[in-house]
Amino acid sequence: MSSTTRKVANTIHKTTKRNRSPSLDVIHSQIETAVTIKSQSISESPHRAKKQKLLESYASESPFLNFPHPTPSEALAVFDILSKAHPHHILSRNFLSPKTNTNANSAATCGNVPNVIDSLIGTILSQNTSGKNSSGAKASLDAAFGRNNFAAIASAPREAVVEAIRHGGLANKKAATIQKLLQSIEERHGGYSLQHLADIGKDGKPYSDIEIMKELTSYDGVGPKTASCVLMFCLGRDSFAVDTHIFRLSKVLGWVPPDADRILTQAHLDIMLPAELKYGLHVLMIQHGRTCKGCKKVESSAACVLRDFVKESRVSKLS
């Protein structure tokens, strides 16, 4: 019996104690009706429906059908340039294997841990804050409730979760998101686990990237970027998450139309970029975006290897 069913049953039991006791069939009927209504309200969330529609629309084709960039050669050129600019940055996906990295802080490793829910929580804590703040918040959360003790987090008073992650930024919002995520997973799957996404599906084949994206983004607070990070760092898939740094650099490089938003940028680049370059470009573009002063402002006088690349490409096309 799920937590939702138990709550409904308890409510009905308290109500009927004051009145004439109904038959078991009536109680079961009331429970099923209430749970159905609850499930319908969850599935009809407008924001969730919008995310699902976007995924279905751009699963196999770009939202910018007639926009030809980036080409594979352009992507490779940028990869080579950034590799030389940041030679000490780790590019191999295997530098921390999720299967063996069981004690890692999921916020500090971009979700590079074996547990899918742990990866999700770490990525949520990383939103709109620094790495230091998010990793500190995750360490505090683990200390307060126990590592991967999702039942304790889900059932705790909201303020206790807020207090545990307070110094990570946006604590009230993130605490609500994490608790609702855990409660939704338990209601849907009967337990606190999403490890089926890392296993073989019912047809004997691994779940496809789009199947995993649909599952993850069906939860409130989990957008395409968060889901893509879990795909990349936890599940080892060739996905391309677009954060604020990558979004800005994509505009600098002319890889998306000027009016593209971040969600459509991710949908476009995930289609256009060669699979073997996605992980490396993701890591390198974030590193460059964080450290390069020359590409943060158009009028900046500081040097930027990507702006130089764009200028040289334009001169080459004109000559």
Cβ atoms of residues 151 and 185 within 8 Å? no
* 30-40 pLDDT per residue, tens: 434 333 333 33
| Tens digit of each residue's pLDDT (9 = 90 or more) over 91-147 | 555 544 566 677 788 988 889 999 999 999 999 999 989 889 999 999 999 999 999
Cα dihedral across residues 134, 135, 136, 140: positive or negative: positive
Concerning whether 225 is annotated as a catalytic residue, the answer is yes
Catalytic residue among 51, 138, 174, 225: 225
By residue count, the chain amounts to 319
CA distance 289 to 95: 21
Tell me the per-residue pLDDT of 247-273, one tens digit each, with 9 for 90 and over: 999 999 999 999 999 999 999 999 999
- The string over 169-204, giving b where at least 16 C-beta atoms fall within 10 Å of a residue's C-beta and e elsewhere, is bbbeebbebbbebbbbbbbbeeebebeebbeeeeee
Separation CA 96–CA 183 (nearest Å)? 30
Structure tokens at 41: 């309200």
pTM for the whole structure: 0.79
Residue 1 has pLDDT above 70, yes or no: no
Query: Shortest CA distance to 156 belongs to which of 171, 184, 126, 176?
Result: 176
Helix orientation angle between 46-57 and 209-217, rounded to the nearest 10 degrees: 170
Between 17-26, 62-71, 87-96, the lowest mean confidence (pLDDT) is in: 17-26
Q: What percentage of the chain has pLDDT greater than the value 90?
A: 61
